[in-house]
Amino acid sequence: MTIAYAVEQLDTVTISAASVIDGMDMMSPFVWTEGNLYRIMVRGVPHPLGPSDPTGIIARGVSRDGLAFTMDPGLAITPGPGAEDMGGCEDPTVLVAGDEYLVYYTGVDAARAQGCMILAAGPDLTALVKEDLVLKAPPGEGNIKEATLAQTAAGDWRLFYEYAAKGASRIGVAGGPTPKGPWTVLPDPFGIREDSWDNWHLSTGPIWQAAGQDPVMFYNGATHDARWRIGWISFSTDFARVTGRGLEPLLVPPPALTREATDIAFAASSVAEGDRIALYYSLEDRMLRRALIRRYGG
């Protein structure tokens, strides 16, 4: 049976004006639910970005409607003191594992030359401790960033991530027995399509898992000139096989208001919103949005 995903509604996501990151460019909105509350971790980037500014700081907040977030006065994750993230903290991905929060994020070194995957954890979002350098590319090779976590039907875990290869972004995956690993790198889950909108760059997006359905990733793809769009791809429940892939992008940025704006829509997280999927993403690497998506088919 043919499966399809359709965007039915688009909404603007806002943060409170008193936030530390108010006025910054915002991206990587990771939203999850706890009871009746929506929680967010989001990356803020100074605009314009100065030579000594961090490439990202990570703030946290809460909302009752999933659209208007009140941000905490403090920051969730900031650069340092370790060398791996002295240049910036980016791309938070949150997993609530029992009574512990796990936050995978991208650490950028002081020279802004390389990114690596770091795990911070703690029993409270205000008391996260940087625990582990999870994945790092060899010297001279590209960044490892944009974590996505998923559990297989057998109970083990997959850590999807973006990495750089030969001037392009690709999606890699590692397997582990727990959401903290230890991680073993596996073959890439899928590649580019030479004749399509995702013919050069690929980056991870959130994975939606529902009972009785193949898990689906709302991934990010782009052409050589980095025009990023959001598409979908589904997997078998062990994530060993691709079972479906959309032909066209699911989300395309609207026409930019200014010439200097970047042509980017980039997916970051998803939650249930009634019988639809709420996909949180950024536009132009500076604005936050939510799309309500419906699945059609078996």
Closest to 288 (Cα-Cα) out of 10, 7, 9: 10
Question: Does the pLDDT value for residue 71 go beyond 90?
Answer: yes
pLDDT above 90: percentage of residues in the chain: 87
Question: Does the pLDDT value for residue 30 go beyond 70?
Answer: yes
Q: Which two tokens stand for residue 72?
A: 């905490």
pLDDT in tens, 185-241: 999 999 999 999 999 999 999 999 999 999 999 999 999 999 999 999 999 999 999
Question: Does the pLDDT value for residue 257 go beyond 80?
Answer: no
Question: Does the pLDDT value for residue 142 go beyond 80?
Answer: no
Answer yes or no: are the C-beta atoms of 96 and 103 closer than 8 Å: no
Q: Which two tokens stand for residue 9?
A: 């509604």
Question: Does the pLDDT value for residue 141 go beyond 70?
Answer: no
**How many CA atoms lie within 13 Å of 160's alpha carbon, on the beta-carbon side?**
25
- Number of helices (H) and strands (E) in the chain: give both, helices first: 0, 22
Q: Give me the pLDDT at residue 140, please.
A: 58
Answer yes or no: are the C-beta atoms of 219 and 203 closer than 8 Å: yes
Q: What is the mean pLDDT of the chain?
A: 94
Question: Does the pLDDT value for residue 32 go beyond 90?
Answer: yes
Question: Does the pLDDT value for residue 138 go beyond 80?
Answer: no
Residues 227, 231, 235, 237, CA torsion sign? positive
Q: How far apart are CA 144 and CA 245, in angstroms?
A: 24
Prior bond to 253 cis, omega within 30? no
Backbone φ and ψ of 84, nearest 5°: -65, -30
> 3-state class of 84 per DSSP?
helix
Backbone φ and ψ of 85, nearest 5°: -125, 25
Query: At 166, is the pLDDT very low, low, confident or very high (cuts 50, 70, 90)?
Result: confident
Q: How far apart are CA 221 and CA 240, in angstroms?
A: 21
Please state whether beta strands 14-15 and 68-77 pair in parallel, antiparallel, or not at all (unpaired). Answer: parallel
pTM: 0.97
